[in-house]
Amino acid sequence: MAKASLKKTSAAMLPWLGLALILLIADQFTKVLILGYYRLGDATYVTSFFNVVRVHNTGAAFSFLASASGWQRWFFTVLGLVAAAFIIWMLKSHAGQKLFSFAMACILGGALGNVIDRTLHGYVVDFLDFHYGSWHFPAFNIADSAITVGAVCLILDELLRVRRAKA
C-alpha cells in the first residue's frame, strides 16, 4: 500500500518538476545568448522603457550584498540548494494543490537557474532592464521573474486558503 501511495505522489509531482525544468532551461538559454552576444555593460535599446543589457550581479535581489568580499557567492548558492530541497519536499507533500504547486515549481526553476550561474560564473547574469526617464528598475532575468511570479502565487494561494477557511 505504501509503495502505491509513493508512486502516486511521485507521479503527481512530475508536471510541477517539468514546469521547473522548462523555466530553468528558458533561463539558462537566454543567459547563454546574453553571454554569447553581449559584453559586460553592453545594452540594446528596444523601446522607450526597455533595454536588453548585460549585467553581472554578485549579490542577491537588487544587488543586495553585491559589494561583499565574495562569501556571498557560496552563501547564496547553498541557500538556493537548501531552498530547492525544501521545495521538492513541499511538492511531494502538496502536489495536488495546483496553485501552491505552481508557485513552488516557479520558485524552484528560478532558484536553480541562479544557483547554476553562481556556481559556473560567480555571479548571476541579468539582462532585462526596464526604465522610465532617469528611473531604472534593477536589471533581472527569467529566473528572477519566475521566483517573483511564484512568490505572488504563494501569497494568492494563502489569501484564498484563508478566505475558504472563513466561509
110: pLDDT strictly greater than 90: yes
The reported pLDDT for the residue numbered 64 is 59
67: pLDDT strictly greater than 90: no
- All three cell numbers of 28, joined, read 539558462
117 a catalytic residue: no
Specify the pTM.
Answer: 0.88
111: pLDDT strictly greater than 80: yes
> Per the residue annotation, which of 27, 126, 129, 157 is the catalytic one?
126
Is the CA virtual torsion 133, 135, 137, 139 positive or negative?
positive
**pLDDT confidence tier of residue 1, bands split at 50, 70 and 90:** very low
Gap between the Cα atoms of 125 and 147, Å rounded: 15
Mean local confidence (pLDDT), 145-149: 96
Gap between the Cα atoms of 127 and 54, Å rounded: 5
> Per the residue annotation, which of 27, 117, 144, 157 is the catalytic one?
144
Gap between the Cα atoms of 144 and 62, Å rounded: 10
DSSP bridge partners of 128: 52, 140
